[in-house]
């Protein structure tokens, strides 16, 4: 692991190695970086630069379309929370209107059985080549994520394949995000402060703008480093690690140039119960159903879902408040195991 600017950098190339010791060496570096920062750069021979360039070109072409055309695939028309996200649709804080638009896709689950609020067929625009290029990028970054899940298992003292049985059809989401440059939009952030809900995020971006809160509580810029992706810990990995890794609040400030980012949020299967997996430690977090947590958090930020809640069409069960995770929450006193935890420990 090397220190690069404000964040550590981990080369994950050896996760492809047939030698367990090579993979363990990466897992140790990953563990140290996640303990120290929660945000890091990753580099590796696995990354396909040509595919990265292709997804940028595809996003530029899509977001250049007129709003009426993009709204034909509005996310509120989808079965699985996929599609176009117009400016102002998503809000992390009341009264704050982020200056961004996005296109969200999931794993494109086309089977009729087993569908969930975030698991179903994607809504795609009528744009030749868009679906093919986006799916290729999704598959590529998901494969890197699969290697990282194995590394996390090693880092947490588990069998290397611990998570594999729970990655069959995860509601992992890819967001293509466009931050337009608007010199007249004073102090209008690209996206408000938040933690990510899933296990971890892999981000590729074309321009600066990302900021994180450091351990001293100060907002700091995260510069781009050529040949890397940015990785960060999410709510679910904070729980799985029993607070060893903390989800870190981050935001995108007002951009100084047009910015595109591609964030893939890696989750386990919808019905996977997220609970601390570290052996020999008292659980500090109550278990939660991963897919339900993901949907509940999403429903608190998207306008079309808020409207369904207000009308009574949608009722959230056991939704945690936004910003329930992060350094402050992970410092909480150990909690008593719930009945669900006790039942899980007896299985």
Mean pLDDT of 229-250: 94
Identify which has the larger pLDDT, 319 or 135.
Answer: 135
Domains of the chain: total: 1
Domain carrying residue 242: 2-346
Which domain CATH number covers 23? Answer: 2.60.120.330
Largest Cα–Cα distance of the chain, in whole Å? 60
Residues 49-103 pLDDT 10s? 999 999 999 999 999 999 999 999 999 999 899 999 999 898 876 666 678 999 9
State the Cα–Cα distance between residues 135 and 128, nearest whole angstrom. 13
Q: How far is CA 226 from the centre of its chain?
A: 21
User: Do 69 and 83 meet the contact criterion of CB atoms below 8 Å apart?
Assistant: no
The answer to whether 71 and 86 are in contact (CB under 8 A) is yes
Query: Tens of pLDDT along 285-342?
Result: 999 999 999 999 999 889 999 999 999 999 888 888 887 787 654 333 333 333 333 3
The closest alpha carbon to 245, from 230, 232, 228, belongs to: 232
Q: Assess contact for 198 and 234: CB atoms under 8 A.
A: yes
């Amino acid at each position: 692991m090397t220190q690069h600017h404000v964040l550590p950098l981990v080369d994950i190339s050896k996760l492809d190695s047939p030698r367990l010791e090579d993979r363990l060496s990466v897992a140790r570096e990953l563990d140290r970086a996640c303990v120290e920062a929660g945000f890091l750069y990753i580099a590796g021979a696995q990354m396909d630069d040509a595919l990265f360039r292709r997804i940028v070109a595809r996003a530029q072409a899509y977001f250049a379309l007129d709003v009426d055309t993009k709204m034909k695939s509005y996310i509120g028309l989808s079965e699985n929370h996929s599609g176009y996200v117009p400016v102002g649709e998503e809000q992390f804080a009341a009264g704050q209107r982020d200056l961004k638009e996005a296109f969200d896709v999931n794993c494109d689950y086309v089977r009729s059985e087993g569908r969930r609020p975030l698991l179903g067929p994607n809504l795609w625009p009528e744009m030749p080549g868009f679906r093919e290029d986006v799916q290729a990028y999704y598959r590529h970054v998901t494969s890197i994520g699969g290697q990282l899940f194995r590394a996390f298992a090693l880092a947490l003292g588990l069998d290397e394949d611990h998570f594999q049985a729970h990655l069959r059809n995860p509601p992992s989401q890819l967001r293509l995000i466009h931050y337009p440059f608007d010199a007249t939009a004073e102090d209008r952030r690209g996206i408000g402060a938040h933690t990510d809900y899933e296990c971890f995020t892999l981000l590729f971006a074309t321009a600066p703008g990302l900021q994180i809160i450091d351990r001293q509580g100060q907002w700091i810029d995260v510069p781009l480093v050529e040949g890397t992706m940015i990785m960060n810990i999410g709510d679910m990995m904070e729980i799985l690690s029993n607070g060893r890794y903390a989800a870190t609040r981050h935001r995108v400030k007002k951009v100084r140039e047009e910015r595109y980012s591609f964030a893939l949020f890696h989750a386990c299967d919808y019905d996977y119960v997220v609970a601390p997996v570290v052996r020999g430690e008292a659980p500090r977090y109550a278990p939660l159903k991963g897919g339900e947590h993901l949907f509940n958090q999403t429903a608190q930020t998207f306008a079309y879902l808020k409207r369904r809640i207000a009308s009574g069409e949608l009722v959230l069960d056991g939704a945690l408040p936004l910003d329930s995770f992060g350094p402050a929450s992970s410092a909480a006193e150990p909690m008593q195991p719930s009945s669900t935890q006790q039942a899980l420990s007896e299985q």
